[in-house]
């Protein structure tokens, strides 16, 4: 089973628009939205939930005010500033509580409860492009790395159950915990970048992360006509480091119109841009074939076969 992850070093590169288009072009696949902090694939794919499950992770402390003796021990012990004291009343700010349990252990009155933490929900859904696994963390909740791992597990189970041979995931921007949780053991990371200095810098960071985890990776330069010099620098970076360059896409205002219409660009338009995008998808599939597998040691592609096909 192939697991393809679409990521970007930063937000705003057009990652989700491209991921939605690939979800449209792909066959026999499960779609997975791993951007759990700010999921937005559902805005385009309009999933119909068939299953909705609470995501429980860790614990949070809660003071039972009727048992509290107002000794102030919890305020002193909490290193996260989560315990508040107003008008001689002690309470815990759930957004700051890290669930370390120190206050629970030290409270002389046993007045602090420590229930499971309900952090969000995950969903199994049907979409017009295929089955989908996705989630929503509640505002301010963390543990997104754990939720990403859970979603990947559920997507694999769904793929096995439905006899599908690909998981196509939209990842989180950046290089934080959820991206690391998304990368381990995948078949291919597709990094979407844009030709700006910050885009290049963030690309280098996420590419380094892929190299560190020995994950095969290739690059798409989106909005390449915005800064051709930067685009050329990114191409040189890909060539030097051994990353496949899957393709370059120009800025196309139709992408915004497609999003407003809640459609993938490949559904919305049939133009030069979508033709290029379809070719990129074919290159991505080609890169997964056994004879194009990357170097097992470095995680990088051995051959620049893809670059020779780019006009
Ligand atoms: S340690 Fe226990 S008794 Fe003391 S203020 Fe905190 S909750 Fe109240
Ligand atoms: S569980 Fe830890 S972080 Fe939460 S209020 Fe108690 S001491 Fe502070």
C-alpha distance from residue 3 to each of 103, 126, 283, 288 (Å): 43, 19, 15, 10
Say yes or no: 66 and 206 in one domain. no
pLDDT tens digit string along 86-123? 988 999 999 899 999 999 999 999 999 999 999 999 99
> By residue range, what is the domain housing residue 99?
61-114
Provide the pLDDT for residue 115.
Answer: 96
Rounded to an integer, what distance in angstroms lies between the CA atom of residue 17 and that of residue 15? 6
Q: How far is the CA of 76 from the centre of ligand 1 (A)?
A: 10
Average pLDDT value over all residues in the chain:
90
pTM comes to 0.86
Ligand 2: list residues with CB < 6 Å.
Answer: 61, 77-78, 80, 82-83, 92, 97-103
Q: Give residue 81's pLDDT band: very low, low, confident or very high (50, 70, 90).
A: very high
CATH for 249: 3.40.50.300
Say yes or no: 88 and 207 in one domain. no
Q: Which atom of ligand 2 is nearest to the CA of 92?
A: 5
Say yes or no: 50 and 66 in one domain. no
pLDDT tens digit string along 38-63? 899 999 999 999 999 999 989 999 99
Provide the pLDDT for residue 293.
Answer: 59
pLDDT, average across residues 17-41: 95
Buried b vs exposed e over 92-130: b needs ≥16 C-beta within 10 Å?
A: beeeebebbebbbeebeeebbeeeebebbbbbbbebebb
Say yes or no: 179 and 65 in one domain. no
Nearest CA to ligand 1 atom 4: 71
Say yes or no: 45 and 84 in one domain. no
Q: Which is nearest to 39 in space by CA: 20, 58, 59?
A: 20
pLDDT tens digit string along 167-224? 999 998 888 888 999 998 999 999 999 999 998 999 999 998 988 888 889 999 999 9
Q: Out of 82, 99, 114, pick the residue that ends a domain.
A: 114
Say yes or no: 203 and 106 in one domain. no
C-alpha distance from residue 282 to each of 56, 101, 153, 207 (Å): 39, 51, 26, 22
Backbone angles phi, psi at 133, to 5 degrees: -115, 130
pLDDT, average across residues 223-238: 91
Provide the pLDDT for residue 308.
Answer: 35
Provide the pLDDT for residue 139.
Answer: 81
CATH for 108: 3.30.70.20
89 alpha carbon, closest ligand: 1
Structural domains of the chain, count: 2
Say yes or no: 18 and 141 in one domain. yes
Say yes or no: 175 and 290 in one domain. yes
104 alpha carbon, closest ligand: 2
Q: Give residue 311's pLDDT band: very low, low, confident or very high (50, 70, 90).
A: very low
């Amino acid at each position: 089973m192939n697991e393809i992850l679409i990521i970007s070093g930063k937000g705003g590169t057009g990652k989700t628009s491209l991921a939605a288009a690939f979800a449209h072009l792909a066959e026999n696949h499960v779609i997975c939205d791993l951007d759990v902090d700010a999921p937005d694939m559902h805005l385009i794919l309009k999933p119909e939930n068939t299953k909705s499950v609470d995501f429980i992770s860790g614990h949070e402390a809660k003071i039972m005010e009727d048992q509290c003796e107002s000794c102030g021990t919890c305020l002193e012990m909490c290193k996260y500033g989560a315990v508040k004291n107003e008008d001689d009343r002690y309470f815990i700010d759930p957004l700051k509580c890290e669930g370390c349990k120190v206050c629970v252990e030290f409270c002389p009155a046993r007045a602090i409860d420590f229930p499971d933490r309900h952090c969000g929900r995950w969903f199994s859904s049907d979409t017009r492009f295929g089955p989908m696994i996705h989630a929503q963390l509640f505002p301010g909740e963390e543990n997104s790395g754990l939720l990403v791992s859970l979603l990947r597990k559920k997507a694999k189970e769904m793929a096995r159950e439905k006899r599908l041979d690909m998981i196509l995931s939209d990842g989180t921007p950046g290089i934080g915990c959820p991206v690391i949780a998304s990368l381990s053991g995948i078949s291919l990371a597709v990094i979407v970048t844009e030709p700006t200095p910050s885009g290049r810098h963030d690309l280098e960071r996420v590419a380094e992360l892929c190299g560190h985890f020995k994950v095969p990776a290739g690059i798409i330069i989106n909005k390449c006509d915005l800064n051709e010099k930067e685009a050329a620098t990114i191409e040189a970076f890909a060539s030097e480091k051994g990353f496949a360059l899957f393709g370059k896409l120009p800025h196309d205002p139709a992408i915004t119109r497609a999003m407003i219409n809640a459609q993938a660009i490949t559904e919305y338009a049939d133009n030069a841009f979508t033709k290029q995008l379809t070719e990129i998808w074919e290159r991505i599939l080609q890169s997964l074939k056994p004879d194009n597998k990357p170097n097992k040691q470095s995680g990088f592609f051995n051959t620049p076969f893809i670059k020779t096909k780019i006009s």
